[in-house]
Structure 1
């Protein structure tokens, strides 16, 4: 999640060319929700491909601040809460695919657990529904929370990690998702939690990303974003 008032701009390998007309190609599957299944290999892997129209059927539309052709899907290995490797997907701006691969390789090597990683289109573009199931996601063409300005998610330059363990906390200390309320305080020593100054924050900072956990008066512990360049 992202609040414009709390941040300045809150707001690879190629596959087939994306369809810009808005008409899904018949052969392109629409993402569907599934429980994370273990990946056979324990080695980290990341693959960058162009995004098909159907993969962002709900999260992208004409008029978004980033073109479909400037988005990429990163398919990568992540470490699960079950202490096993899994394969997930993120859609991001093509300019940050290297950042994402670098950071998530570090998280994987550290065995930092991630609950699930599916495209927000699995949840028909609903940020609330994605967060409700603790889904790590990135691109979504939407305004910043409580604002008419674009979120950095709308540019493909933001990611929300383990939103249950790292909730968005309002200025009054409230949390919208009941399953996340016990994670509202920091520091907190629990799996998948991001704390001020920890190695997850430092890994993103090394690539030029800021952490929403440092914002005031709200705290967005799940959120990392990088200003456009």
Structure 2
């Protein structure tokens, strides 16, 4: 009876994985999330590939003493729609326990044609958060303190993501805007491509899965930031 129960459980798990469009993987191999585009969308299928990551690949974004090791992180390569309306491939590094969920969040953004200017891992900017923000780069993992503090940021755990950092700036307690070229977008009555608004599809893609949006904070306000510690 126990053997039959195990077989039934395995069949149920396998079926649920297939229906979700996920190819499962171990901690040392790749996992693929592939979802068909809605009929008439004009988009190719959404494909996200989740892979283990090494210290060498993390480069300057990780060092000994960071709160998580490379084995606890995953690299996601995924489709996104750019500001030019075309489909591009981007990369995010997130915590292993958030990777599949993040892949599905960005599937929602992709099918909703939410535009993202660029999506590169932060070592491309020497892991300088200011440089990454100024480039309007969407990114996740970066082993660094919270802005203006000394405690580890949730980015250091791969459990925070910043999106379109220019159109969605960070406003410090003193009123300083980061990045500076995000100042024209402090006025949230605007409706410009790549901007996130309370209750919109981007907000919902994250918050319905238990993520918190920094745009709801009183001070500082972090319009670019979603986190799930």
Report what 1:148 is aligned to.
150
- CA–CA distance in 1 between the matches of 2:107 and 2:167? 20
Q: CA deviation at 1:176?
A: 3.3
Report what 1:163 is aligned to.
165
User: Quick check: which has more Rg, 1 or 2?
Assistant: 2
Which of residues 186, 192, 207 is equivalent to 1:205? 207
Report what 1:67 is aligned to.
69
- CA–CA distance in 2 between the matches of 1:185 and 1:197? 17
**Structure 2 residue ranges without an equivalent (≥5):** 1-23, 30-42
**Aligned-partner SS, 2:80:** strand
Report what 1:5 is aligned to.
none
Report what 2:38 is aligned to.
none
Matched, 1:57 2:59: yes
What's the CA shift string for 1:81-104, capped at 9, x where partnerless?
Answer: 000000000000000012211110
Q: CA deviation at 1:160?
A: 0.2
Q: CA deviation at 1:119?
A: 0.5
Q: Which has the higher contact order (CA 8 A, sep 6+)?
A: 1
Q: CA deviation at 1:64?
A: 0.7
What's the CA shift string for 1:13-46, capped at 9, x where partnerless?
Answer: 46868xxxxxxxxxxxxxxxxxxxxxxx832110
Change (3 A) 1:180 1:104: same
- CA–CA distance in 1 between the matches of 2:178 and 2:171? 8
What's the CA shift string for 1:97-129, capped at 9, x where partnerless?
Answer: 122111100000010000000000111111111
**Aligned-partner SS, 2:46:** coil
Q: CA deviation at 1:67?
A: 1.3
Give me the CA root mean square deviation: 1.6
- CA–CA distance in 2 between the matches of 1:162 and 1:87? 15
**8 Å contact kept, 1:139–1:153:** yes
Number of residue equivalences: 193
More strand by share: 2
Which of residues 82, 87, 90 is equivalent to 1:88? 90
**8 Å contact kept, 1:79–1:86:** yes
What's the CA shift string for 1:183-225, capped at 9, x where partnerless?
Answer: 0122321100001121211110111100000111221000000
Matched, 1:98 2:100: yes
TM-score, normalization by structure 1: 0.80
- CA–CA distance in 1 between the matches of 2:194 and 2:183? 15
TM-score, normalization by structure 2: 0.80
**8 Å contact kept, 1:125–1:140:** yes
